[in-house]
Amino acid sequence: MAVASPGTHAPHAGPVPAPTRPPARRDPEWWVRPLTRAALVVWLVIPPVVYFYIYRPWSAHAVWSVIIAGLPLFIILVGYHRWRRICPLAFFSRIPVLLRRPGTRRASPWMDEHYYYVMFAFLAVGLWLRLTVINGVGEATAVFFVLISVAALIVGALFTGKTWCNYICPVSLIEKINTEPHGLRETSNSACVKCTACKKSCPDINEENGYWKEIDLRSKRFAYYAFPGLTLSFFLYFYLQAGTWDYYFLGGWADQPALLYRAFRPDGHPMSFGFFFFPEDPRWVAAALTLAAGAFASYALLSMAEPLVGRWLRRHQPEADAGQVRHLMFTIAAFAAFITFYAFAGQPLLRLVPWLGTLGGIGAAVVGTLFLARRYGRTQKAFAEQTVALNVIKRWEWPDMRPPKDLHEAFLIHTARSAERKTGYAQVLDVYQEAVREALADGLATREEVYRLEALRNQLQIKNADHEKIMASLAEEERLVLTDPSKQPSAEKRLQLETYKRALEQHLKLVLAADSKADDRFLTQLRKEYNVTEEEHTAALDALLGGTQGMAAQLSADLRVVARAVEAIRALKAEPSPPHELLADILQRKRIQVADRLVHILGLDPESEAGQAMHRMLCQEGEGFSDALFDELRAKVPRSVSEELLAVFKEDPARADGPIPLTEGLRMYTESADPYVRAAALYALAERGELDLAILHRLTEDEHELVRETLQGLTERLKSRGSDGAPKLTRIEKMIALRAVPIFSSLEPVSLAELARAGIEGYYAPGDVLVREGEQGDVVFIIVTGDVTVLHKADGGDDVVIDQPSVGDVIGEMAVLDPAPRSATLRAGAGGVRVLRLDGTSFRDALKADPGVASGVIRALAQRVRHLVSMATPRSST
């Protein structure tokens, strides 16, 4: 059927209206590109203007009192990332990329740690040159701008990515100090289209992430602390050289063509004086001494102030850490430098109009104050929370409503929309898990920071147990990522490989469409432009062509986890003890999880013979990998994967030098990705008396609360050894005690830990009453040590002993399950009793969490009924 084009008529029909199209949305950043071109034009015009108009003071003022003086304010107002796209020096450093001749070298590890010194040194040299050579000398000014542009070009030709911008450029230091951790303007990032992962914690991807990751660098601390003094000493030198401020404020420095010669050859002319009070000192030496003295004085002053500010901050914010103190000092230093700079910069021109200088000072003070207020209260925890929150909102699922900016509002709407669906909470958990996964993968938050985001979880109403399961799942994913060459944990590396993969995919599509042979020279050039290694190229190509390299690596890692677990479980069972049994149980559960995942990855039907055989082989001891099973697997999965599977499985788990000793295995498990394994292994080592300082030091700052609590409890117990009284139970000990109770033995470690958290330890002396018959109660008792006598009033009013539960028994559950008065009195036995008290809500949550708990409670109640019936029934004479 033919369709008439707009403006024509279809046969035998009326006019066909023009198709309506939604109006194109204008790019809100449209103005950045023309501004970038304008900035480049201005930069290119500066050298010829100052060169040919060397005797016109206005040319020097235009450069130094307008363009350069306005640069920090301009950067703050347009935003960090926009300036990174506008900067002319960045353009010169990218010329080799535009010419398809990019550099391939990377900055060294030394440069990663010390690049702030490099930037600061270049900035200090530039200021020194201004004071001695180029302020009022047109030829020198022109040469200076040409040389710095050539330097950017050379670095771009030798080094990959934005090495010039990230490691060398002095303007980059000014950008950072005036905008970190986030400026007045929120801007989209300035990441390269062809990312080469040239820098860890790349500021172009996320400036604030780079700021917090580098806040402990010594070079960053020096640059921030020395910058205010360097700024002040630069302007102060004009007075120290001439003996009057008129030299600077009236602009005499803008027209000194002979300065180039007199600064290095004192000849008695005032222009050659180093200091007005010591004219014999050469100007070039005096300028260097002034800048150095100002920088080091500022550094020393702020360094001495840091501990004082830290004590003040911790009095007002007890939770403040060293990073927050350092951030506050950086904020103070940046504010001081900004206000100092604009007390002088541009004033020689502004003061030509009487009121303009005052107005400019007020404007700078207002911007500086806004910038101070925005930075002052920022914390690394707030950044991590905001990152996860934005990831949650990004996954907004209601197309008829715009996503709100506030996370709490988003949750309320999401909950209202999901109220009628049973899957509402599950959807919230999925969104939360994806948000946390992305934040961790991009390096924008650490696992420890995510664990501490209680406010965020409270807004989303996420239960702690569900959060623990999500974090355990992500920890397992993280372990798999580290074994898979096609996946990388850093945001920079991920962006590099994703952009490279897209470019490679486009090339392969063109080649396949043309039915032609791939051009190896093009691929070589493409790899050079994106700076990827041969292994990274192979992984990207393998992923695009549906290969199995990553899949085999994941299988290999999983199977090695199983092999280690088999060996450890055997060793733990050979020396039975409650801590060993807990660790063995956790490891066995991990084996089952791996088995489930492998069966799923291999595409086997869990109900099929092959799927069940694979599961048994991985979960039970003594099962072999038969040739028949291998043949069936090879028919269902790629050959490379099945061979990898067989090779890893046939490795001798006992190793050539024999099984790993249990103590060494426990030490190894204190480094596990699973916090419950770490905590259980730590406690087992302590029980064996095998803890060492290296493990204690490593786990002191562990990301997981359970591990830190276990370590703290063990440490306090060592300190109080020999004192009277039984030490309090740690949470890991409560978990061990709960697991010894049959009805709780099937709980997963996460649920067991939550139950242990809710359990309150209590001790009752011999004869003490735990509960009285007839009282209302909502507490369950779990006996840890000792025993309890259960008494029931007979018809005559006397107490009759009807039961005597001991260690591992649960008592009092009837009153929790049925809100009726207590049916018996519980009295501590002759040796006293130590119990864990669980409130009714926690006990009922455990029933819901695991059907096995409910079944255990039913069995226990049934046994108790039989016991009572047997006591009430007269014995037969037979």
Q: What pLDDT shows up at residue 379? A: 84
Q: What mean pLDDT do residues 48-68 have?
A: 77
Per-residue pLDDT band at 520 (split at 50, 70, 90): low
Q: What's the pLDDT band for 13 if we cut at 50, 70, 90? A: very low
Tens of pLDDT, residue by residue over 161-177, are 899 999 999 999 999 99
For residue 9, give the DSSP letter.
B
Residue 436 has pLDDT above 90, yes or no: no
Q: Which residue has the higher pLDDT, 648 or 218?
A: 218
Q: Which residue has the higher pLDDT, 638 or 850?
A: 850
Per-residue pLDDT, 646:
63
pLDDT tens string 387-408: 777 776 666 555 555 665 555 5
Judge whether residue 447 has pLDDT over 70. Answer: no
Bridge partners (DSSP) listed for residue 9 = 15
Q: If you average pLDDT over each of 24-28, 305-309, 446-450, which comes out highest?
A: 305-309
Say yes or no to pLDDT of 688 above 80.
yes
Measured from the Cβ of residue 46, the count of other Cβ atoms closer than 10 Å reads: 21
The SS3 call for residue 653 is coil
Convert the pLDDT of each residue in 272-315 to its tens digit. 888 999 888 889 999 999 999 999 999 999 999 999 999 999 89
What is the overall mean pLDDT for the chain? 77
* pLDDT of 761 higher than 90: no
State which of 431-440, 483-492, 826-835 shows the largest mean pLDDT.
826-835
Task: Determine contact, residues 809/857, Cβ cutoff 8 Å.
Answer: no
Check whether 411 has a pLDDT greater than 60. no
Distances (CA, A) of 476 to 29, 470, 564: 40, 10, 16
Can you spell out the DSSP letters for 267-315?
-S-GGGEEETTEEEEEHHHHHHHHHHHHHHHHHHHHHHHHHHHHHHHHH
Of 5-9, 36-40, 472-476, 658-662, the one with minimum mean pLDDT is: 5-9
- The most confident of 183-192, 432-441, 443-452, 623-632, by mean pLDDT: 183-192
Find the range with the poorest average confidence among 125-129, 491-495, 706-710, 799-803: 491-495
Coil vs helix vs strand at 533: coil
Residue type, 275: F
Closest by Cα among 769, 744, 735 to 846: 744
Return all residues near 165 (Cβ < 8 A) that are at least 6 apart: 84, 87, 89, 90, 93, 172
Rg of the chain over all Cα atoms, to the nearest angstrom: 36
Q: Quick one: pLDDT at residue 848?
A: 72
How far apart (Å, rounded) are the C-alpha atoms in residues 477 and 367?
45
Matching residue, tokens 């450069």: 63
In this prediction, residue 5 carries a pLDDT of 34
- Pairing assessment for the beta strands 273-275 and 278-282 based on DSSP bridges: antiparallel
Start-to-end C-alpha separation, the chain: 100
65, 341, 476, 544, 859 from 233: Cα distances, Å: 17, 10, 54, 58, 83
3-state secondary structure of 32: helix
Between 317 and 515, the higher pLDDT residue? 317
- pLDDT digits 0-9 by tens, 556-602: 666 666 667 777 888 888 888 888 888 888 888 887 877 776 666 55
Sorted by sequence, the CB contacts under 8 Å of residue 408 that are 6+ apart come out as 459
Which range, 253-267, 385-399, 485-499, 712-726, is most confident? 253-267
Q: Which of the residue ranges 366-380, 463-477, 858-872 would you say has the lowest mean pLDDT? A: 858-872
Supply the pLDDT for residue 872: 54
- Which pLDDT score is estimated for 501? 77
Q: Which amino acid is at 97?
A: V
Torsion, CA 651, CA 655, CA 658, CA 661, rounded to 10:
-110
Strand locations in 202-251 (E): none
Separation of alpha carbons 731 and 736, rounded Å: 9
| Residues 851-875: tens digit of each pLDDT | 666 666 666 666 666 655 565 554 4
pLDDT the model gives residue 467 = 76
SS3 assignment, position 218: helix
pLDDT, position 291: 96
Over 90: is that where the pLDDT of 155 sits? yes
| Residue 835: CA count within 13 A, CB half-sphere | 29
Are 575 and 662 in contact by the 8 Å Cβ rule? The answer is yes
- pLDDT by residue (tens digit) across 696-713? 888 888 888 888 888 888
Give the pLDDT of residue 303.
95
Give percent of the chain above pLDDT 90.
Answer: 19
Residue 236 has pLDDT above 80, yes or no: yes
pLDDT over 70 for what percent of the chain? 72
Q: Please say if the pLDDT value at position 490 is more than 60.
A: yes
Question: Which domains are present in the chain?
Answer: 32-191+198-375 (no CATH), 380-462 (no CATH), 560-717 (no CATH), 748-872 (2.60.120.10)
Lowest-confidence pick of 365-379, 548-562, 592-606, 836-850? 548-562
